[in-house]
Amino acid sequence: MKKFISLAKPSHVAAAISESYKSSFPPASLEIHLNPDPINPDIDPHACSPGSTISGTVFLKVYRDFNAQSIKILFVGAESINFLLLGWNGDDDNGRIFTSRSPVWTAPPPSPPSSPTTDTNASNTSNNTRPNLEVGEMMFPFAFEMPMVNYPPLAELQRITSTMTIVACLEQQGGRITYSPPCVLNFQPIIETPVNNNSSGPKVIESKEIGKGDIINFSVEKLFYNINESPVISAKVWMDSCSTYNKQQTENNAPEVRVYLNRCLTVRHGKKESKEYTAVSEVTAFLAPKNADGSGTRRSSNSSNVNKGRRSRDSTNSTTVPTTATATATSTSTTAATALVVSPSAATGPLELDVNIQITPDMIPSLTYSKRCSIHYELCVSVRDTTSFFSFGKKDVFSVGLFFGTLSCGTRSPVDLLAFTDEVVTPDNPVTKPRRVDRRPISAPPPAYDDFSPPVYTEEALSTPG
């Protein structure tokens, strides 16, 4: 007789497989959603500044019944140096600026036994082992108030990283912890913007001689900008007399000019220091003369926009800083190269190049109050003379420092504002780190008018002393 092999597993084996399957997958998932500003919903809910309030909700989705201890929110701020990239010997300091832990839910305590009878003990045991989180979805609102402290702005660069993240964690019995995806905040410090003292007109920075007696000039309208106003850096490069160019009467020998916004990053740790220069935006073009009608023609090279700015909250590493370059009345594309032939009759006036660089609020402002790093900007101009066969390289002829703040020009910062490097600001000080605030909903709106009328003031009452 043939023997049939049973594929059914014993009950204890099936139970072990079921427990192994459950332990390999978390019983619940967490997710954080930040609330938009009720006054101005267009503002990014991830944006914050000193003194602002951040509110949101923790969404808990339970897949199976289980016992949990608590649900907490971790608010962490850090400024970390990439010691491996720099080749430095880093210590145990992880760059932690502050850490705030706040529970939004805690498991109720087990009920104590009331009588020594067997039935009561059995019921208490069953109540204590009963899962305190059942299948379903739950929401836990929260709100944090930022202190009047200037923390470093959001920046994820190769040498240093400064971030603020909010993470929700679910602590289960047995020490297992389930975390939610981190929510990165876009912190913008309060930085004063000095007043520009060139209201009469553009400021000529410098004039230099290049080539065979040719003088090149450079001017910029302002040196201080507020990044929240999306300013435009307007600069101009021109040559009053270009004898070499006028003699050749050909557009192939026009001077090539590169105008770029340079970000200078300095990282310090102990006695060690490292510097990095990055071109945030750049324009490369050839100078062009003016025609008789006032328009301009030129041959421009590839006007590129270097995407090495501030990291946004998505997976990209930088944000776009649009750049435009114009030669008098003619604009060129920032994505493709164009070739415009200059006629011999047009090469009679001065050679000019007008550059407009658009700044967005996502740009990292100038940073001077951090002990680990400093950021400042320079507007640089390099010129390559194309009249000589041996002039292959570009020469930096101009460099002027620019300052980017977050307040309007002339606006003063609050008196109680502190830098995070101040001695009073410590990780253990609850006053100088984000604190949890409870936003309780109003059960009934307040009345529009009181029950009694306000007193009536007459001339006699006002004239009577006391």
Q: Is 203 helix (H, G, I), strand (E, B) or coil?
A: strand
Q: What is the pTM of this model?
A: 0.73
Residue-range domain boundaries for the chain: 25-190+413-466, 203-405
Query: For residues 228 and 405, what is the distance between their CA atoms, to the nearest angstrom?
Result: 8
Angle at 419 between CA 432 and CA 280, to 5 degrees: 125
Q: What is the pLDDT at residue 162? A: 92
Determine how many CB atoms are found less than 10 A away from the CB of residue 341.
Answer: 11
Q: What is the pLDDT at residue 200? A: 52
Please give the structure tokens belonging to residue 131. 């899962």
Say if residues 139 and 105 touch (Cβ distance below 8 Å).
no
Q: What is the mean pLDDT of each run of 10 residues along the chain (466 residues)?
A: 49 53 74 85 86 92 88 92 84 78 85 55 50 86 93 91 93 85 93 78 68 78 90 86 53 75 92 91 78 47 42 35 36 30 44 86 91 92 68 70 91 91 86 82 64 70 57
Q: What class does CATH assign to 25-190+413-466?
A: mainly beta
Query: For residues 61 and 28, what is the distance between their CA atoms, to the nearest angstrom?
Result: 5
Query: For residues 181 and 397, what is the distance between their CA atoms, to the nearest angstrom?
Result: 48
One-letter amino acid identity for 401?
G
Give the residue carrying structure tokens 């909250």. 313
Q: What is the pLDDT at residue 347? A: 47
Say if residues 297 and 346 touch (Cβ distance below 8 Å).
yes
CATH architecture type of domain 203-405: Sandwich (2.60)
Say if residues 217 and 240 touch (Cβ distance below 8 Å).
yes
The answer to whether 25-190+413-466 and 203-405 have equal CATH topology is yes
Query: For residues 281 and 60, what is the distance between their CA atoms, to the nearest angstrom?
Result: 43
**Distance from chain centroid for Cα 125:** 52
Q: What is the pLDDT at residue 166? A: 95
Query: For residues 167 and 181, what is the distance between their CA atoms, to the nearest angstrom?
Result: 7
CA end-to-end span of the chain: 119
Q: What is the pLDDT at residue 324? A: 39
Please give the structure tokens belonging to residue 410. 């002339």
Query: For residues 86 and 157, what is the distance between their CA atoms, to the nearest angstrom?
Result: 12
Q: Are strands 136-145 and 435-436 parallel, antiparallel or unpaired?
A: antiparallel
Say if residues 131 and 44 touch (Cβ distance below 8 Å).
no
Say if residues 142 and 436 touch (Cβ distance below 8 Å).
yes
Sequential DSSP letters for 257-308: EEEEEEEEEEEEETTEEEEEEEEEEEEEEE-EEB-TTS-B---B--------
Query: For residues 434 and 76, what is the distance between their CA atoms, to the nearest angstrom?
Result: 9
